[in-house]
Structure 1
């Protein structure tokens, strides 16, 4: 009996650990999507960033995604995000979210046949109300 409860606790703990990395597996109105290219970071590198920027494909579309890290939210607490897919130098699927939203998706774009990248922009209202920090993923063709 004790073995079962230890196994159940271990399974629950593993589920909790994996939920932190699964934020970006389903685009709005699409379902499962696949990341293409490497993750880019706003405000630093992989260990000190404010947010992650990723590009996905799924449902016949490209998607850009920005996730603002808990550490930034806890420290700053007043920010805003814009996210879009850049195709041939043009903004596609641009969305600007209300303040302090952690998970941010672009609109799905009909750009799978083009060279694209995800673009994430973030303003930190504590340090500057007008400066948007911009990060782009690598271009994918």
Structure 2
């Protein structure tokens, strides 16, 4: 009886831990045409229909800023089709260098020549070139 109580206690503690820990998103090595990038700022999460669709990150390298969007495995497993876009934003609303794809697991923006400006990475569930009404979009924190 004592062993069953211990097993039940361990199981009760383990379940919340499994539920609370989201999967991690691993970025592709680098965007096309750039051999080395570094993440700047925080990671944002694109939540669509009550579930996490993707992670959005901003990178710098090769004299440019890049937005990177990774569509989570859980979302891909539950959906047969999706659209996703990545872009850099300056001035809070000026979308630059958007790149969109259909059923892409990950997407890098083209690379904006904006290292001297304050920027954010933008990701959204749409077809571009900007987020339209009804599409869900998220930005990372501002990096100057």
1:122-137 equivalent positions in 2, closer than 5 A: 122-123=125-126, 131-137=134-140
Gaps of 5+ in 2: 1-23, 127-132
Deviations 1:83-125 (A, max 9, x none): 100012311111121x2111111011100000000000014xx
3-state secondary structure, aligned to 1:71: helix
Q: Give, in whole Å, the separation in 1 of the partners of 2:134 and 2:81.
A: 13
Distance across 1 between alignment mates of 2:87 and 2:136: 14
CA distance in 1: counterparts of 2:28 and 2:114, whole angstroms? 19
User: Structure 1: any 5+ residue segments left out of the alignment?
Assistant: 1-19, 124-129
The count of aligned residue pairs is: 112
The structure-2 alpha-carbon separation of the partners of 1:21 and 1:82, relative to structure 1 and needing over 3 Å to count, comes to: closer
Counterpart selection for 1:80 from 80, 83, 90 = 83
Whether contact under 8 Å (1:92, 1:109) holds in the other structure is: yes
- Considering only CA atoms, is the larger Rg found in Structure 1 or Structure 2? 2
SS in 2 for 1:26: coil
Q: Which runs of 4+ in 1 moved over 2 A?
A: 20-25
Q: Which secondary structure does the structure 2 equivalent of 1:119 belong to? A: strand
| Aligned mates of 1:85, 1:21 — CA distance in 2 | 19
Please report the RMSD computed on the Cα atoms of aligned residues, expressed in angstroms: 1.7
User: TM-score, length-normalised on structure 1?
Assistant: 0.73
